[in-house]
């Protein structure tokens, strides 16, 4: 359970770290804007991906643990914004000009994405656990369970039409 949660935290942290690094690089070298946009989408949705991974690996408490990715991603996004301000880089992700509005908007969106990812991960985790516990059919039992299929006989050489060469 702890390993699954740490893997989710690590995924969120690494995505935010990559996004922060690319924005700082873009501020100095004007060549990374497409990567900034792609990583923005990743950062906004990484809470859902991490929630899915956590919930899939821990189906019992998965949804509860998955929802913890929302405050983490909101805190990291707000901390990044504060660091951008200290570095003199102006980034306005949410349309709010203060960090409280940014935190609230990231928290609400992160909660939504985490809930969806956690619910899907819990469902997949439970289905995977059920499939692992289901009895496996042996070959004869599987053959008996299949419907009988009749196959037309394959025509032989004698059944083919004869071509005359006159």
Q: Would you say residue 127 lies in a domain? A: yes
Query: Which single residue is written with the structure tokens 């009988």?
Result: 148
Give the pLDDT score at 75.
Answer: 95
Give the number of domains in the chain: 1
Pairs from 88-93 (Cβ < 8 Å, separation ≥ 24): 89/23, 89/24, 89/27, 91/23, 93/40
Q: Which domain holds residue 10?
A: 2-136
| The two three-digit tokens of residue 53, written as one number | 């991974």
Q: Would you say residue 57 lies in a domain? A: yes
CB of 66 closer than 8 Å to CB of 8: yes
Q: Would you say residue 157 lies in a domain? A: no
Q: Would you say residue 107 lies in a domain? A: yes
CA distance 81 to 70: 17
> Model-level pTM?
0.72
Give the pLDDT score at 112.
Answer: 96
Taking only the tens place, the pLDDT of each residue in 109-159 is 999 999 999 999 999 988 887 777 766 655 565 556 666 666 676 767 676
Q: Would you say residue 161 lies in a domain? A: no
Taking only the tens place, the pLDDT of each residue in 19-70 is 999 988 888 888 888 898 899 899 999 999 999 999 998 878 888 889 999 9
Q: Would you say residue 154 lies in a domain? A: no
CB of 50 closer than 8 Å to CB of 117: yes
Q: Would you say residue 76 lies in a domain? A: yes
Q: Would you say residue 41 lies in a domain? A: yes
């Amino acid at each position: 359970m702890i390993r699954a949660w740490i893997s989710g935290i690590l995924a969120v942290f690494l995505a935010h770290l990559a996004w922060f690094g690319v924005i700082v690089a873009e501020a100095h070298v004007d060549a990374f804007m497409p990567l900034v946009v792609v990583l923005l989408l990743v950062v906004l949705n990484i809470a859902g991906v991490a929630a899915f991974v956590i919930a899939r690996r821990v189906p019992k408490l998965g949804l509860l643990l998955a929802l913890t990715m929302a405050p983490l991603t909101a805190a990291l996004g707000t901390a990044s914004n504060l660091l951008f301000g200290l570095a003199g880089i102006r980034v306005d992700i949410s349309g709010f000009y203060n960090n409280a509005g940014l935190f609230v908007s990231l928290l609400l969106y992160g909660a939504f994405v985490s809930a969806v990812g956690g619910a899907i991960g819990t469902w997949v985790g439970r289905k995977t656990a059920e499939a692992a516990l289901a009895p496996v059919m042996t070959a004869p039992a599987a053959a008996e369970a299949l419907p009988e299929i009749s196959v037309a006989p394959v025509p032989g050489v004698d059944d083919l039409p004869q071509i005359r060469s006159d």
